[in-house]
Amino acid sequence: MKPVILDVDTGLDDACALLLAARHPALDLRAVTCVGGNVGLDEVVVNTVTVLDAAGRADVPVARGAALPLLQPVRPAPHVHGVDGLGDLDWPKSARRPDERHAVELLRDTLTTAARTGEKVALIPLAPMTNIALLLRTYPEAAAGISEIVFMGGAAGIGNATASAEFNIWTDPEAAAIVLAAAGDLGIGMTMYGLDVFYDVVVTLDEVRELAGSPSAELARRLIERRSELYRRDGATIGDGGAVCAVIDPAGLTTKRYPLRVELAGSWSRGRTIVDTRDWSADLSSDPYGAAPTVVDVATAVDGRKYADLWLETVR
């Protein structure tokens, strides 16, 4: 089993990812940390424990993290995830209380414990990376317990929060820039599962109507049905769940290594991930900035059918 930690701002697609990570036999879900994003932090925590309880995983520790980005207010997305973040499904909320530790402390403890026993944990941020930035700058020694960071965020092409920027990066671009820099400094491999592939893992309404018989299957069906209603389509993407699929089955994802930066200042491009696709074997000495120091595996294509089947079979 591959040990993993998810960092989430649980809305509808984070819930799809949580169900997959909690139920798949190849993953050992060690912890889940929460950050404000799709909805406020209080709602994120309640949604996270609610989904894990539906998956039969009340054993997984959940911790509250940063309520706000480093430099700007939270800008939630009720038009995408509903007011409560779970599509206003009226699903029974869990009363389970989170771990007493702050998310950064839970991350530190889980990763350093793994390192002491010779293990490494895949870190899967599916939200603004405020918690991860705080971790890597406050406790850089925790990097010894990280095998890789596979994050949902950014894009080489389109944006969604703005014409340039993807929501998770746009919500806290300073945190994303810090994580990129820290990963480069600490030698942590990173994979960007961005908007270039995000929408390509789709399950249909006919497929999810077969999901029944357990709380996790029922919740999975209702999540997709609600996303389908919001997007007015016959089915919906599993969204963040695709990044978890990429950890379970990396062969389903096509990536290319590119230098990566985050734009922090542009009036129209703040939060954009600058994927440098230039051929650096050519003479580019005229560029005063040079190549970004951190090189990332950028997802360029995904086997959508393979990952959709993986998700369906797991939540079923």
Domain borders along the chain are 2-315
What is the 8-class DSSP label of residue 256?
Answer: E
And the tokens for 238?
Answer: 């599993």
Give the chain's mean pLDDT: 95
What is the reported pLDDT for 78? Answer: 83
- Which pTM was predicted? 0.96
The topology (CATH level 3) of 2-315 is Inosine-uridine Nucleoside N-ribohydrolase; Chain A (3.90.245)
Task: Tell me how crowded residue 259 is: count the other CB atoms within 10 A of its CB.
Answer: 20
CA distance 15 to 93: 13
Instruction: Give the whole-angstrom CA distance, residue 193 versus residue 138.
Output: 25
Q: How confident is the model at residue 294 (pLDDT cuts 50, 70, 90)?
A: very high
Residues 193-211, mean pLDDT to the nearest whole number: 95
What CA–CA distance (Å, rounded) separates 206 from 221? 10
In 3-state terms, what secondary structure has residue 186?
helix
Beta bridge partners of 7: 33, 125
Sheet strands (E) in the chain = 2-8, 27-34, 62-64, 121-125, 146-152, 190-193, 202-203, 236-237, 253-262, 273-275, 295-302
CA proximity to 280, closest of 289, 288, 291, 295? 291
pLDDT digits (tens, 9 = 90+) for 50-86: 999 999 999 999 999 999 999 998 888 888 888 898 9
The three-state secondary structure class of 155 is: coil
